[in-house]
Amino acid sequence: MTDVSGMASGIQMDFTPPSGTGDIAGLASAGGVPQNPLGFLFTGIMAFVASFAFMAMGAPGWFSAIAVLSGFAFCAMYFVTKGRAEKETEERARAAYEAEERFKDEIADAVKERMKGAIKVRCGYCGSLNDEKANKCGSCGATL
Ligand SMILES: [Zn+2]
């Protein structure tokens, strides 16, 4: 048997992809990451820096406390957003991988199906080629 996977990659260009792949590509572009997690981290750090600046300037304690708390809040949002973004990326990669595997299987099946008709059986009596499914030789009538 020939290497089907090698043949599959060869015909990949003119093979119509299964409908599923298009949906996943659309999902990937439409979904996107809602917010840049680094924006939250940056804001959080800025809030910390600002709180130190407020303290240094002799601002009231509660004012600095609010700045520190908002710093924590932004950092927490960073980790939440980052975690969610990573999970989404992971899921998207897995979905794309599964679609690709499914796609490869479909190509392999299509190639096998196409090759089925091309397999010929040589008659042991007269030597002529017959279809694989043929029970009798088309030339001499011998049982194959
Ligand atoms: Zn024959």
Q: Tell me how far the alpha carbon of residue 137 lies from the centroid of ligand 1, in angstroms.
A: 5
Report yes or no: 68 and 53 within 8 Å, Cβ to Cβ: no
In the predicted structure, residue 7 carries a pLDDT above the cut 50: no
Q: Tell me how far the alpha carbon of residue 2 lies from the centroid of ligand 1, in angstroms.
A: 26
Per-residue confidence band for 137, with pLDDT thresholds at 50, 70 and 90:
very high
Per-residue confidence band for 67, with pLDDT thresholds at 50, 70 and 90:
confident
* Burial class, 67, CB count within 10 angstroms (exposed 0-12 / middle 13-18 / buried 19+): buried
Mean pLDDT of 86-108: 93
Report yes or no: 44 and 73 within 8 Å, Cβ to Cβ: yes
- Of 35-39, 94-98, 102-106, the poorest mean pLDDT is in 35-39
Mean pLDDT of 47-59: 83
- Per cent of the chain over pLDDT 90 is 24
What is the per-residue pLDDT for 20?
A: 46
Q: 122 in helix, strand or coil?
A: strand
Mean pLDDT of 16-35: 47
Q: Tell me how far the alpha carbon of residue 112 lies from the centroid of ligand 1, in angstroms.
A: 26
